[in-house]
Amino acid sequence: MDWPLAQFVLEIDGGETFLSEDGARSGLILLTTMLLSFLFIRTSARLMRSPKVPWWPGSIETEGGLHVHHLVFGIVLMLISGFVLALQPASPGGEIMAGLFGIGAGLTLDEFALWLHLEDVYWSEEGRRSVDAVVIAVLLGGLVLVGFLPVSTDETIPTILLTVLINLTISGIAIFKGKVVMGVVGVLVPIVGLIGSIRIAKPNSPWARRFYKEGSRKLAKSQARAARHTRRYQRFQNQVAGAPTTLKPPPKVDG
């Protein structure tokens, strides 16, 4: 049967709706629930941290003092719903499983820094890498959902291969310059990768270390631009993920 969600979107050529296919509906639901679950669990963690909200439930710990990260619940949800999705259930079962998978993905991506560092860095500077992971996941998921493809399926195979090769090269240059998000998005939207590839590199990127000499004008420009960008982006990260805990240096010991 037709699921009601498809009736709330605009019609396109041919009388079909933008989300008339089960896959498109499931993709939108997965992307939405992933973002909502990330925002919910991150807000919950910030409320746990705040002394002004003592009534908010704390984290889950076993009797032995083991902290059960919400990453665990996210992985379990993804495993179960992913297996059921592989069986291609009919609507609305597919949409429900996609929603559960999205919730699991949001819980898991919120602790992306734990995957990377294999230690609990949730409230440290490294812990804010989780925000970067969610931004990239949402951007790529959204672009795929609305049909952004770097090539046309009407082209010949050699043309497609050449286009993909050029696109990957441009995106690779952007990543090499430290523009990771622009490089990743550029895989699907070539103009974004092109902009990242021609702009000045970040000062700590492989490109800058290879081509920007110490004391050069390009390096100075790169450092100044990176400082401005870092301040803006850290304000965004603080709004979403909360400010990291500042660790005080150990006291000096005489002798």
Rounded to whole angstroms, how far apart are CA atoms 255 and 252? Answer: 9
**Residue 83, exposed/middle/buried by CB under 10 A (0-12, 13-18, 19+)?**
exposed
CA angle 81, 116, 189 (to 5 degrees): 70
The angle that helices 93-109 and 70-86 make with each other, rounded to 10 degrees, is 150
Q: Please answer whether residues 127 and 243 qualify as being in contact, where contact means their C-beta atoms are separated by less than 8 angstroms.
A: no
| pLDDT at residue number 17 | 53
Is residue 109 within 8 A of residue 70, CB to CB? The reply is no
Distance CA 88, CA 94 (A): 7
In this structure, the number of other CB atoms found within 10 A of the CB of residue 43 comes to 13
- pLDDT of 105 reads 93
What's the pTM value of the predicted model, to 2 decimals?
0.64
* Residue 107 in domain: yes
DSSP 8-state secondary structure symbol assigned to residue 17: B
Closest-CA residue to 229 (of 187, 193, 190, 196): 196
In a domain, 91, yes or no: yes
How far is it, in rounded angstroms, from Cα 239 to Cα 234? Answer: 9
CA gap 219, 204 in Å, rounded: 10
What pLDDT score was predicted for residue 80? 94
Would residue 54 count as lying in a domain? yes
Question: For the chain, how long is the longest CA-to-CA vector?
Answer: 83
Domain assignment present for residue 154? The answer is no
Check residue 98 and give its pLDDT.
92
Where helices occur in 11-151 by DSSP H, the ranges are 22-49, 70-86, 93-109, 112-117, 129-145
Q: Residue holding tokens 């734990």?
A: 114
Domain, as residue range, for 22 = 17-148
pLDDT of amino acid 53 = 73
Structure tokens belonging to residue 235: 């304000």
Identify the pLDDT of residue 255.
37
8 is a domain residue? no
Rounded CA-CA distance 89/43 in Å is 33
Tokens of 119: 């230690």
How many structural domains are present in the chain?
Answer: 1
Tell me, yes or no, whether 140 lies in a domain. Answer: yes
pLDDT, averaged per 10 consecutive residues of the chain (255 residues), comes to 42 51 81 91 81 72 71 92 90 90 92 77 72 82 73 67 83 89 83 91 89 89 87 76 57 42
Helices 129-145 and 22-49 pack at an angle, to 10 degrees, of: 160
CA angle 86, 87, 91 (to 5 degrees): 105
Cα dihedral 237/132/146/93 (nearest 10): -100
3-class secondary structure, 127: helix
Q: What local confidence, expressed as pLDDT, does residue 48 receive?
A: 79
Q: Is residue 77 part of a domain?
A: yes
Is the residue at 185 inside a domain? no
Side-chain half-sphere exposure of 118, counting CA atoms within 13 A = 0
